[in-house]
Amino acid sequence: MKKLNTLHYWFILFLLISISSIARAEISFNLDRSEIHENETFRLRILVENLATLKPGNNIDFIPQELQILSRQQFNNSSMINGKFTSEMGWELNILATQAGTYTLPTFKIGNEQSQPFTIRVLPATDELKGDNSNSKVKIRASVDTQDAYVQQQLMFTVRIYRSVTTRHQSLTPLQVNGALVEKLGDDRVFRMVQGNTTYTVTEQQYAIFPQQSGELFIEPMTYSATILDDSQTNNPWGLSRTKPISLSTQRYKVTVKPKPLNAEEPWLPAKNLQLEASWQPANQAFTVGAPASLDFVIKGSGLLESQLPNVQFPEVQGAKIYRDSPQYRQLINRLGINSYHMEKVAVIPSQSGSITIPEIKVPWWNTETDQQEYAILPAMTINVAPAISTTDAAPPIVTPDSQYSATVNPTQDFITPSKQPWWMWATFTFAALWLLTLIALWLKKPVQKNVSLTKPQSGSTQQHKHLNLDAIKQAAQANNPKLTRSLLLEWCNQQKHLSNITNINQLIKCCEHQQLVSALASLQDALYSSQASKNWKGSLLAENLHLLPKAPEKHKKLDKLPGLYS
């Protein structure tokens, strides 16, 4: 009976885990093309996160009947990218759009969860082939999305090859555009299209073109070559089919490129959209004086190359220092063109407690769709900074030569009484006066030692400032940020009198005596000059050995020993 109860327990636990995993599943949809016309085929991918979703019992009968499913298959792909395991699973549907219109896929339910509605827009049938010789079994068409544009504005150029017969030895000449940068938008896309009673296999290529000078821009013809079956030569004495070569070309396109408008502000950014975003990492970041806070800063540009994204200047922040890491760039290609990203790590180190405001950042850009100046704005951010938490104990009282002298030359009345030994008292006072004059002469002769002695009581606050900087270096190292760690480490060295001549990590390594610290600094140096090492750098070893940094030499030993003459 006990065994049955145990099995019952594990069975219920298994069901709960299964149900919870299904409830967390998320479904998304993905189309292979951004523009779909009536009588054309396209691929719809339904991505899921839970393998149980792919069970045969889970049907996908939510597709409207105007979208005819030609084929359906499941996929389950796994991969390892940059040490991170990723998997992708779901269905891939090959669909024929039989009628123009806007179709909304309803929610796709999985247990208690469901996907968001997804809209597919089907445009009227293309008229690209109208007026063409109906006997032609292979056709080529090209189009450009605009006949006039601004300098450095993105143009979209599309070329399509229509084939109603099997072709061999295909080739297409590269796109040639003088005075412009050209980016191909992904791989070729292949789909089917029905025109009358003829079904064509369509191969589509898309390009983004960025004119670099004003004036006239010419997009040269592209030529498609292949061999097809020659119907007129099918009946030959040997019963073999013959092929014939074909060659087709697109027309030459002219685009008028306008200069930058006179009222446009710098930097010149002709785009479909531009956004500035910033977020603290982590989101619930706590702010403390002397401790670095990490801010992720992102610039998103639609219709811009990554090289066009501006390097935005951060405003000065009252009460904080800003350290910026080298930006990383990413360029994503989709059917609508190029989206570029400027991603940057920013370290904000408050230098005072209270409320600190990072001022608004404003970047002008030119909206190519509305043909007017607009601004991408990152609103001002206000943070509340807590005072630094001091981890240093209060410094012990500093004994100066004056205090030692007083304690030494002022005997108690129990030891010497003037009534019993007046000559000894006078001798003591005389000797003490001579000693005091000698000591004053020594101080006047060595003013540096005097200054060190007199400023010694302030060392508590100085040590506290250095300790805060070491805390900042430690946090940067623990965050595995080699460039910020180097910047803070060299700034700390610059504040130390005995290390103020240090300008790079190699010089600092030569000053270190402890092998653990030398190894940690060498690892940091490798990370700074190797992209792969930078990604894999772990700063924990350096953080643990920061206390081994070279100490300042002791300068008070001789001065402290002088009063020992009376010990």
Higher per-residue pLDDT: 360 or 419? 360
The secondary element (H helix, E strand) that includes residue 386 is strand 381-386
Task: Look up tokens 């100490």; give the residue.
Answer: 551
Residue 515 neighbours by CB distance under 10 Å: 10
CB atoms within 10 A of CB 555: 12
Q: Where along the chain do its domains lie?
A: 24-123, 138-258, 270-386, 390-412+440-567
Mean pLDDT calculated for residue range 307-325:
90
**Can 138-258 and 270-386 be said to share one CATH topology?**
yes
d(CA 477, CA 492): 14
Asked if the model's pLDDT at residue 325 lies above 60, the reply is yes
Position 106 scores a pLDDT of 80
What are 101's strand-pairing partners?
122
User: CB atoms < 10 A from the CB of 192, how many?
Assistant: 15
Q: Which helix H or strand E contains 198, and what residues bound it?
A: strand 198-211
Record: fold of 270-386? Immunoglobulin-like (2.60.40)
pLDDT at residue 56, rounded to an integer: 57
Q: Rounded distance, CA 55 to CA 248, Å? A: 48
How many C-beta atoms lie closer than 10 Å to residue 108's C-beta?
Answer: 20
- Summarize pLDDT for 234-279 with one digit per residue, the tens: 555 555 567 888 899 999 999 999 999 999 999 999 999 999 999 9
CATH of domain 138-258: 2.60.40.10
Query: 71-80, 329-338, 468-477 — which one is most confidently predicted on average?
Result: 329-338
Quote the mean pLDDT of the chain.
77
Q: What value does the mean pLDDT take over residues 7-30?
A: 50
User: Does position 9 have pLDDT exceeding 80, yes or no?
Assistant: no
Per-residue model confidence (pLDDT) at position 559: 42
Q: What is the pLDDT of residue 33?
A: 79
Angle at the Cα of 136 from the Cα atoms of 130 and 141, rounded to 5 degrees: 55
**CB count in 10 Å sphere of residue 7:** 10
Q: How far apart are CA 472 and CA 53, in angstroms?
A: 48
Q: What's the topology of domain 24-123?
A: Immunoglobulin-like (2.60.40)
| Range with top average pLDDT, 230-244, 275-289, 394-408, 444-458 | 275-289
**pLDDT above 80 for 85:** no
552 class by beta-carbon count within 10 Å (0-12 exposed, 13-18 middle, 19+ buried)? exposed
Residue 22 CA, distance from chain mean position: 31
CA distance 398 to 401: 10
pLDDT bin (cut points 50, 70, 90) of residue 115 is: confident
SS (H, E, C) 129-148: CCCCCCCCCEEEEEEECCCE
pLDDT higher than threshold 60 for residue 562: no
Mean pLDDT computed over 77-85:
59
The amino acid sitting at 541 is: L
Query: pLDDT band for position 528 (50/70/90)?
Result: confident
Strands lying side by side in the sheet with 84-97 = 28-31, 41-48, 84-97, 67-81
**pLDDT digit string, tens, across residues 369-398:** 999 999 999 999 999 999 987 654 444 443
pLDDT band for 53, please (50, 70, 90 cuts).
Answer: low
Cα 528 from Cα 490, distance rounded (Å): 14
What is the tens place of the pLDDT at every residue in 187-240? 899 999 888 788 899 999 999 999 999 999 999 999 999 998 876 655 555 555
Confidence of residue 445 (pLDDT cuts 50, 70, 90): low
Kindly state the percentage of the chain with pLDDT values over 90: 32
Which one, of 67, 23, 76, lies nearest residue 47 by Cα?
76
